[in-house]
Homo-oligomer: A and B are copies of this chain.
Amino acid sequence: MRNLCMTLTYDGTAYYGFQVQPGGNTIQDHLEDAIRALTGEKVKITGSGRTDAGVHARRQIFNFSTESQIPIERWCIALNSRLPSDIIVIDAVEVSHDFHSRYAAKKKTYRYTVNANQFPDVFNRRLQYHHHAKLDIAAMQEGLRHFIGTYDFTSFASRKSQKDNHVRSVYEAWIEVDRSMCRDHPRDQGVIHIYVSGNGFLQHMVRIIVGTLLEIGEGKRKASDVPNMIAASNRSAAGPTAVSCGLMLWDLEYKKD
């Protein structure tokens, strides 16, 4: 048996998330179907983690065991020709038998994109949440800084979270503002990319952080209140969950063997 590790990228708009669900039509379903069509084997793949329905990945990792002797350099093209056009495998390597995509992940980075210009960007509308009201971006940056550190993030997890332990470490978090689509118009505030990087994330965690930052940007909450929201360990202390389409699994870092 070989243990193969693959990198993929996907537009999550049409799918019910990464992980297999009773209703089907997940990224994992399509990958397992493509591997079965190619090798005849019914495999179960392991992803670095789940992404929710509608969430995208610039870079996601999965691994699986196979008896197939197909040379490693053929896998990307062979799988891509059996996958829908919004899921693309971009790298394939053979790894040691004990490699596990989830356990070996050291750091994950998500990016959430808020288009704060007057009009939606028609060519990126599936990848952005369009928010046309005035935002105080400096206050959002201040609020975001309070998430860096190791905390119990119960206030920032879905009430449906089934994890026993809600302690997670956020290593870095920053905002980049892209003004390339701005016209000379006061309602064009730029496209705001919010990056959050850490050792792992609870269900909806990045989207609740963003929903809270948007309320801070609107002046409904104070940036300096974030530590109290975290300390409350209560979902109702934080802001709403931002819509899924703005979220993208941006990057993954793995332990060196």
Contacts and interface: CB of A to CB of B under 8 A. Distances in A.
Interface of A: 9-11, 56, 58, 76, 80, 85-88, 90, 118-120, 122-125, 127
A233 B9 CA distance: 45
Nearest to A10: B122
Nearest to A9: B122
Q: What is the total number of copies of this protein in its complex?
A: 2
Contact of A123 (B76, B87, B127): B127
* A-B residue pairs, 10 tightest by C-beta: A9-B122, A11-B122, A90-B119, A88-B122, A88-B119, A86-B122, A85-B125, A11-B123, A88-B120, A10-B122
22 contacts: A9-B122, A10-B122, A11-B122, A11-B123, A11-B125, A56-B123, A58-B123, A76-B119, A80-B119, A85-B120, A85-B122, A85-B125, A86-B122, A86-B125, A87-B122, A88-B119, A88-B120, A88-B122, A90-B118, A90-B119, A123-B124, A123-B127
Contacts of A76: 119
A10 B125 CA distance: 11
Contacts of A120: 85, 88
Nearest to A86: B122
Nearest to A11: B122
